[in-house]
Amino acid sequence: MLKYSPPVDDVFRAVGDSTRRDMVERLGRGPASVSQLAEPLGMSLSAVVQHLAILEACGLVRSHKVGRVRTCRLEPMIMRTAEEWFASQRVAWERNLDRLGEYLAEGETKQRSKR
C-alpha cells in the first residue's frame, strides 16, 4: 500500500477549521463569489479571502475571476482523497478486528505471538 499523497496533509489542516468547513458546505450547494461566501460568516472579507487561499492551496476549491468577480467551486476529487484516508484507516482497523478477534484488544492479552 502506498502512503497517502502529500496534499492530504494540507487538506486535513484546511478542514480542521470550522469556518473553512462552512465555506466548503456552502460551495457544496453550488459555486459562489467571494462576497457570497463571506456573507453568512460574520467576519471581514479579508479574513474570508485568507481562508479561501488555504482552501485553494490544498486543492479543495478552485476559482476563476471574470471581471471583478471571483467565482469559487469545489474540487470533488480532492474531497475523495480525504474521504479515502478515513476509509482506509477504518477498514484496516476492522480487518484487524477480524484477524485477531476483538477480545485480543481488551487488554488482558499477554504476548501475542508475532506472525
- Position of cell 502512503? 3
Identify the residue among 7, 31, 36, 56 touching a second copy (CB under 8 A): 31
Q: Are 34 and 48 in contact (CB under 8 A)?
A: yes
| Helix, strand, coil % over all residues of the chain, rounded to 5 | 60, 10, 25
Amino acid of residue 6: P
Residues within window 9-68 making contact with DNA, judged by CB under 7 A? 13, 16-17, 19-20, 33-36, 43-47, 49-52, 54, 65-68
Positions touching a second copy (CB under 8 A) are 9, 12-13, 15-18, 21, 24-25, 27-31, 64, 66, 71, 73-74, 76, 79-80, 82-83, 85-90, 92-94, 96, 100, 104-105, 107-108
